């Protein structure tokens, strides 16, 4: 028997001995002694498990993004409504005899011009700076309230048009 690792050539085929003195024919891979490989079922089950986990993470991320946009929308609406109220109260104090309808601003731009707002905020859901304006009356086109033009329902089930 051969005692050291070397290549030998019996009958035209290349054979070599490994460290445990076993013959290995050319072109064949050595046997995996005691090594364990993953079966197809194990690999597929891990892939399914990872895909389920990733779907849950993505849904949680989408939920948090929508929640953040809704909070930004509520903040923008509260900011603009507060500016309209402040404008109304300032006009009430400055001109007490003024008709009720005339105390409201004529547009959102007027709130910016008179420094009640720094800028008209963009609607976080639509990405636009245009809002649905609720007027004081049909005859008097002055800003009484502001609503989002976004359609659909919020996470709490209320419609954005009712905010």
Integer Cα distance of 63 and 77 in angstroms: 21
The answer to whether the beta carbons of residues 84 and 111 sit under 8 Å apart is yes
Integer Cα distance of 36 and 21 in angstroms: 22
Is it the case that residue 107 has pLDDT exceeding 80?
Answer: yes
Alpha-carbon separation of residue 41 from 32, 35, 36, 53 (angstroms): 20, 18, 14, 18
25-68 pLDDT tens trace: 555 555 555 556 778 898 999 999 999 999 999 988 999 999 99
88 in a structural domain:
yes
134 in a structural domain:
yes
24 in a structural domain:
no
pTM, rounded to two decimals: 0.65
Domain count, the chain: 1
45-55 pLDDT tens trace: 999 999 999 99
Integer Cα distance of 67 and 158 in angstroms: 13
26 in a structural domain:
no
pLDDT of residue 9: 47
114 in a structural domain:
yes
**Residue span of the structural domain in which 145 resides:** 68-162
* 73 vs 100 pLDDT, higher one: 73
């Amino acid at each position: 028997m051969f005692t050291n690792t070397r290549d030998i050539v019996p009958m035209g085929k290349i054979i070599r001995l490994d460290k445990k003195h076993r013959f290995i024919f050319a072109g064949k891979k050595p046997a995996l002694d005691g090594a364990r490989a993953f079966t197809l079922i194990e690999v597929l089950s891990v892939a399914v498990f990872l895909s389920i986990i990733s779907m849950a993470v993505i849904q949680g991320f989408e939920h948090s993004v929508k929640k953040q946009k809704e909070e930004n929308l509520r903040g923008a609406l509260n900011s603009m409504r507060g500016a309209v109220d402040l404008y109304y109260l300032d006009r009430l104090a400055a001109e007490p005899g003024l008709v009720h309808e005339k105390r409201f601003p004529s547009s959102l731009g007027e709130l910016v011009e008179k420094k009640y707002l720094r800028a008209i905020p963009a609607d976080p859901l639509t990405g636009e700076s245009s809002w649905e304006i609720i007027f004081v009356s049909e005859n008097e086109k002055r800003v009484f309230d502001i609503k989002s033009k976004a359609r659909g329902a919020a996470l709490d089930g209320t419609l954005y048009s009712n905010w």
